[in-house]
Structure 1
């Protein structure tokens, strides 16, 4: 004890971190399951320090599976919270310590026909198979949507945005620090994308349709390889402050 007491705070912290082995991985943690009563056409999700996977399912409740793992030095955690109140599902994992590494993973099964609005403080977001509107915002993590046809409003402060197999008529994507890649399978009415620091690639379906395209970059090339018509009802906007912009026909 005297030897440990003689150590400086920095040495103690380094010793603790060495013993903890670095990062945590919640994928191997035990799974917990819970169902939340829900009625309505729009589910709001408030997530913190956790990745979230969203899928539509033939359920009447909102069904959640979570895994939580982590370590702390001189503090408490990981403390996990999941609750439903007024149509808002809260999914949070918290550690309060001098040093910590806490991680949560949540899979959320949403009743079919329900739109989702999700805000995540720290964690990636993945959604697949929706035909309803999705508004997904991660303030530190990637956002991915696959095989969906509802309107999309996607944003990330620090992470890439990917949409694959999307048949949405309206897509909005904004990244403060990350790339944007959209692969559309149906002719959209409106695509509006912007990135402060990252490239943008938009793949549009091959068809007889033409597009009113605005594509520009302050620091990078802007390539457009689709039929264009400034009077078209199909509007595509892509702007990057720092990164290449590509609007092209899908292979």
Structure 2
């Protein structure tokens, strides 16, 4: 890691302006580098150990990941790998699914905000690759080593409100494993693994906002987690498959449980007793 091996006692977060509306086919990396270069505050010049946090929406727009709104449900289906839970409500049915990126999200991350009327946005094709491209661009233009996060907004079980999480990472340790270290009373930590990339993504969203036209934020003071190599990306943050403690919704858990019970009693999963 490029930063000192100690807990940071101070961080600064700011969002440069000047990016403007991003459209299909735009050279996003150049737009972002130009915005960083145009910031007239000398303290804001990119430095070793900075972490850049980029909202996924502008990546999706540059990639042309826009579909007609009337195809939203089909878009959700197309992005879905596994249905985790469904919930009926007055406006229809919400699907919580695992999408092709391995993320478990409502509506597979298909979003209708900050996009022209009549369209919705899909998540980027490869957020880790987008993060690597921006990181390489910063190094080439400014000669510094930074970390990059591509973030998206998500809800959380048992908590109201939404936060930004990291869906793409480059040059940053996404997790910090504190297991085996001692707490302030000398007892060993046995469970603590900090989601560094998610915490930095959430902090950055507070200065980017949702409609300010500032899709990029810079976090300074997190250099201890910035790495010399691109690193493993965002995948280590995802808990899916057998490690997912809440992989089923209520209806799906009931259905699976009833099927298992019928099979154990000698019946078929559909409930018919075999002759």
TM-score (normalised: structure 1): 0.26
TM-score (normalised: structure 2): 0.24
Structure whose residues are more often helix by fraction: 2
